[in-house]
Copies of this chain bind each other. A is one copy, B any other.
Amino acid sequence: MFESAKRSRVLFKPQDLRARRVIASCRKLLSERGAAMTASLAKATLDQFRALDRKGQARFFTDLLNEFSPDPAQVLAAAKAYAESATAANLSRLGAVTEPPRQELFRRLNQAPNGTATILHMRERLLELKREQPELDAVDADLRHLLSSWFNPGFLRMVRVDWRTPAYLLEQIIAHEAVHEIQGWDDLRRRLESDRRCYAFFHPALADEPLIFVEVALTDAMAEAVAPLLQTPSTSKDPAHATTAVFYSISNCQPGLRGVALGNFLIKRVVDLLSHEFRRVKTFCTLSPVPGFVPWLRELLRQPDDTHPKALAQALRAVSNEMGSDPARIGGDGRSAAERLAPLEEPLTRLCATYLLYPGLVEAAQDPVARFHLNNGARLERINFAADVSKKALRESAGLMVNYVYTPDTIEGNHQKFIGGEIVASRRVRSLVLTD
């Protein structure tokens, strides 16, 4: 390795040289046998990394891939020894040579001040790079593995966010809300009033940054549309009379944690907490978008008419009469979205039910929001027409929103059924499916 590094040095650009210097620091850090210098070496290494420009970072990750992977020969030898005799010693040796040295490297980098935050930024960058260099997934696998261990739900602290929360945290809530944008402090305040709740997960190593947060409305019925939940000024109601908790938004704040499951644990914990605090609340539901619906519809409209069952074909025609082949272009002719949508209530709702219950009808991925909640053990309860007429919602979900219901007693069963391929849905939704 050193040989080849020497030979190719002449080709190195300045950024490559800087990346090589970070790699050299990584080697030094990994070779430390005591702890005396670990933290300061880790700090120095991360400082060097941060000083790299984007190309330097790309180079750094490629080097990490090439130079800190397990040695195939050693792995094979250890695997053979273990196959011959499955002793503790052989297993230990196997584990030692199989684990990419990158993992220990990241563990040591984590000892720098703010190490965890920097590693999350590293991964954010790595995720971008992976799009063009899929082989970097091997490096990402190590980070994913470590982050899943470090951000184990057992280490997370759930915190209520309200008007007593320090401003610098609220500011982050405003910035990270991903589902229904927060317009400013007044808008935020409405979402933190006594009949609204917001909970966030924090990790001790990132004390000042929320990881993920969920927004809940305490109401007296399952919400049909999002506008009434967000409207300001509002008369907030006494939450002691609420019967229903509507989870209307869930947002991740750390792109570097993509793929590390947090949302399901957060929902579970909030359901537990609210059911203790509000004895009268019996229904826990979401009000969720269907972001895969319009792409699915577009795909279907592209297919020859006669390949569809009759009812389905009819519904598709109704939609295309009104919107043409792009259902996302609702409201394009001067009429308001609501006006154009009005005649489409039945076909759109039934198409959506069909989409959610038979995702395999065309070759398209299952709706990601549906998959998330169904896998968590929720039931597909109701499809709401014209429930969110914001631009983004029209473009992705044709304005539809779905209530998924979490019933503590059936969560486990529903989850098992979903694992087994069955989607648990209310009779009402099932009756909407367009089949012959």
- B-contacting residues of A (Cβ < 8 Å)? 33-39, 65, 69-70, 72-73, 75-76, 78-80, 82-83, 86-88, 91-92, 94-95, 98-100, 107, 110-112, 115-116, 134-138, 141, 145-146, 148-150, 152-155, 157, 163-168, 170-171, 184-185, 189, 204-205, 261, 264-265, 268, 375-377, 411-412, 415, 418-419
Q: A83 to B86: give the CA distance in the assembly, Å.
A: 20
Q: Can you sample 5 A-B contacts with CB below 8 Å?
A: A37-B377, A70-B82, A72-B83, A164-B168, A166-B166
Q: Contacts A91-B100, A164-B167 given; 8 further ones with Cβ under 8 A?
A: A36-B268, A91-B138, A91-B141, A98-B98, A98-B99, A110-B154, A111-B152, A164-B166
A-B CB proximity, top 10 nearest:
A79-B79, A88-B138, A204-B204, A35-B264, A36-B377, A72-B83, A110-B154, A98-B98, A76-B83, A36-B415
CA separation between A137 and B110, bound complex, in Å?
27
A137 and B88 contact, Cβ closer than 8 Å, known pairs A107-B152, A110-B154: yes
> In chain B, what residue has the closest Cβ to A130?
B88
Residues of chain B within 8 A (CB-CB) of A65 are: 88
Q: Main SS of the interface on chain A? A: helix
**Complexed CA–CA distance, A11 and B70 (Å):** 44
Question: From A116, which residue of chain B is reached at the shortest CB distance?
Answer: B154
A111 pairs with B154, CB closer than 8 A: yes
Q: Chain B residue with minimal CB distance to A99?
A: B95
* Docked-complex contact B111 and A94, CB < 8 angstroms: no
**Closest CB in chain B relative to A303 CB, distance in Å:** 32
Q: Which of B34, B135, B153 contacts A376 (CB 8 A)?
A: B34
